[in-house]
Chains A and B, each alone.
Chain A
Amino acid sequence: MTGGRHLELAAAGDTVLELDAVTKAYGEEPAGGARVDALRGVSFAVRRGELVAIVGPSGSGKSTLLHVMGTLELPTGGVVRIDGVDPAGLDDRELSRLRARSIGFVFQQFFLSEHATVRENVADGLLYAGVPTAERYRRADEALGRVGLADRATFKPTKISGGQRQRVAIARALVGRPAIVLADEPTGNLDSTTGAAIMELLRELHAAGTTIVMITHDEGLAGQLPRRIRMLDGRVVGDDRRDRDVGATPADSAGDRDVLAAPDDGTTDHSVLVVPDDGASEGDR
């Protein structure tokens, strides 16, 4: 319940993630009918310390957006900047180093190794960052402490609950102290109670200063977060932020206005770069 305070902190910080007119197309160019435009000119910025939900129905391009933000895919057009680095010009080695150092991923399916302990799973988050083994384990224990699983370090993932597994995955994303954590439907495989606990954890991490971008199709979950970027058909159709947390009443929060209906509203009172529907993306269509 401290989100508001940290937003002020965030406002003072620099930009961690920046997308400028990013497009992503799959399939043959340009004549082929199989071409799919997954992103049609997406622009927004995320500042250090923000907690952002990217929300949209399936097929809205939010998964592609996550891949582009995470440098797992390069955009067809536009510019992405992660922690000040444009991945477009990097080779595989440099791109991998960027992922190892600056980005933490949390996936819906957790992706834990069943044959390694919880500690080893978390320590693997540092495996490709060139951190010595002892240091990896020390930081893994620290990260496990942050997600409340310090007492489960020696367990195998098969011996802990689904919610705990996702906490392990979150600890793995945190262990390298990345500039940004990208979470892809982190509660998608969990029941609502467990999911709520994970959301609480994300808010706590955010409160402690971690920058988190979470992808979800769940409006209810997105509504709990301080800032929501709405996607539809490969475009950003809304970006609203409120200064109070979810506990506040809807009436006193400007951010609770429904921006879907009126996209032009999105940029009014907040200094976030939002280009919900500009001419360029119109031309893409």
Chain B
Amino acid sequence: MTGQGGRLSLQDGLRVASIGLRARPLRAALSALGIAIGTAAIVGILGLSSSSQAGLLAQIDRLGTNLLTVEAGQRLTGGEATLPLEAPARITHLADVDLAAHTGLLKDAKVYRNRLIPEAESGGLQVRATSLNLPSVLTTGVARGRWLNAGTARVPVAVLGATAALRLGIDRVQPDQRIWLGGRWFNVAGVLEPSPLAPDIDSSALIGYPAAQRYLGYAGVARGERQPGPPSTIYVRTATGREAAVQALLAPTANPDAPNEVTVSQPSDALTARAAAAGAFDSLFLGLGVVALIVGAVGVANIMVISVLERRSEIGLRRALGATKGQIRTQFLGESILLAVIGGVVGVLAGAAATAAYAGAKGWAIVVPVEAWTGGIASAVLIGALAGLLPAVRASRMPPTVALRTA
């Protein structure tokens, strides 16, 4: 006999620890299910929030963070301030400003699908005069039809933001497509795609400044001349990395007389904040996942207690064959951990699959954070160890004669 009789090899240990699972696969599967559900919930939540975060960050990346907006703020005396007519031109001359577009909100003009719509049902839509370079500054594409040009900017022609088109029920652009805008008919030239960095544009009908002045009387006086305006929002593309420097100069440049009446913001901040919020886990679902894990742990502990009682004769036999108390303890502890890890692995796979399906449908990048799946499996090991500890100790302390008597 060689007979050092110490530890079992890993292979033997695994074989012995999996005897109970192989003998009763259905029972093992059901008791692992609780852990699988809990792990799947946690991994799914972490995966989905990470994926949606990745989706938003990708969107921010695409839209660029170098867009700044300049808006008229509040007067010190109360009431709304306006931007000077010359503000866009001045801003264009700033170093590090690549492009500047601007729109002017026509507060009194409303837009309807036709003239029969009651005046109150404006649908929250706004009418804005716009500079012609707006889509390129916002990197917003034209979904249907055409954008304004120098010609159509002078005539009663409008381009609709994505939301505005939806609310007006216009899903295609036909030559005779008209809307009732500011008390007269305007033709619809095109529909824009959604513009996440400038949500106001989405819910607006956009017309050229000359048309706004001619048909809706939207004009101010600058350097002794009547000009269309004033702009209410200026969109500025800066050189990448120079946002902060430009941001500091924008207010005094836009309105040197009253820089404090100008509000400057970075619209990508809002998206960044949303991405951060998406990364924050849904604590309710995480909590449910933890509860499922605890219930699963209780289930595994329960099964292990039953298993130890049922397998007394096996314990007695193994003791008679020379198993130490420690080896019996390891066997049942190993079985419990194995059970929980199977549940954990299934849960991680299910959670990852749910993440993949949802993120795929949303067009996000599929991200299952390393912490989520390693944490899921690690917590399964921990749960298995905790759940199996008491039954395993019980099994090891069972006197071999008692174990053999109850055959």
Binding site for B on A (CB under 8 A): 67, 70, 72-73, 92-93, 96-101, 103, 105, 107-109, 111, 113-116, 124-125, 127-131, 133, 172, 176-177
Interfacial chain B residues near A111, Cβ < 8 Å: 313-314, 316-317, 407
Q: Does B247 contact A (CB under 8 A)?
A: no
Q: For the complex, what is the distance from the CA of A177 to the CA of B318, rounded to whole Å?
A: 17
Closest A residue by C-beta to B313: A111
Q: For the complex, what is the distance from the CA of A133 to the CA of B8, rounded to whole Å?
A: 10
- Kindly provide the distance from the CB of B208 to the nearest chain A CB, expressed in whole angstroms: 83
Sample (27) of A-B pairs whose CB atoms are under 8 Å apart: A67-B400, A73-B399, A92-B324, A92-B325, A92-B326, A93-B324, A97-B3, A99-B320, A99-B321, A100-B321, A101-B1, A107-B317, A108-B407, A111-B313, A111-B314, A111-B316, A114-B23, A115-B19, A128-B8, A129-B3, A130-B2, A130-B4, A130-B5, A130-B6, A131-B1, A131-B2, A172-B321
Closest A residue by C-beta to B11: A133
Q: Does B290 contact A (CB under 8 A)?
A: no
Q: For the complex, what is the distance from the CA of A101 to the CA of B321, rounded to whole Å?
A: 9
Q: Does B323 contact A (CB under 8 A)?
A: yes
Contact B317 A101 (CB under 8 A): no
* A97-B320 CB under 8 A given contacts A109-B407, A111-B407: no
Contact B8 A127 (CB under 8 A): yes
- Kindly provide the distance from the CB of A103 to the nearest chain B CB, expressed in whole angstroms: 8
Q: For the complex, what is the distance from the CA of A157 to the CA of B322, rounded to whole Å?
A: 22
Interfacial chain B residues near A127, Cβ < 8 Å: 8, 12, 16, 321-323
Interfacial chain A residues near B19, Cβ < 8 Å: 113, 115-116
Q: For the complex, what is the distance from the CA of A117 to the CA of B4, rounded to whole Å?
A: 26
Interfacial chain A residues near B313, Cβ < 8 Å: 109, 111
* A115-B22 CB under 8 A given contacts A96-B5, A100-B5, A101-B1: yes
Q: Does B327 contact A (CB under 8 A)?
A: yes
Contact A128 B9 (CB under 8 A): no
Q: For the complex, what is the distance from the CA of A130 to the CA of B327, rounded to whole Å?
A: 12
Closest B residue by C-beta to A184: B404
Contact A67 B401 (CB under 8 A): yes
Q: For the complex, what is the distance from the CA of A111 to the CA of B314, rounded to whole Å?
A: 7
Q: Does B319 contact A (CB under 8 A)?
A: yes
Closest B residue by C-beta to A96: B324
Contact B320 A70 (CB under 8 A): yes
Closest B residue by C-beta to A105: B320
Q: For the complex, what is the distance from the CA of A107 to the CA of B407, rounded to whole Å?
A: 10
* A130-B3 CB under 8 A given contacts A96-B323, A99-B321, A115-B19: yes
Q: For the complex, what is the distance from the CA of A34 to the CA of B360, rounded to whole Å?
A: 73
Q: For the complex, what is the distance from the CA of A277 to the CA of B23, rounded to whole Å?
A: 49
Contact B320 A101 (CB under 8 A): no
Contact A101 B12 (CB under 8 A): no
- Kindly provide the distance from the CB of A186 to the nearest chain B CB, expressed in whole angstroms: 14
Contact B23 A133 (CB under 8 A): no
Q: For the complex, what is the distance from the CA of A24 to the CA of B406, rounded to whole Å?
A: 20
Partner of B320 from A72, A93, A108, A116 at Cβ < 8 Å: A72
Centre residue among B2, B6, B11, B324 by max chain A CB count within 10 A: B324
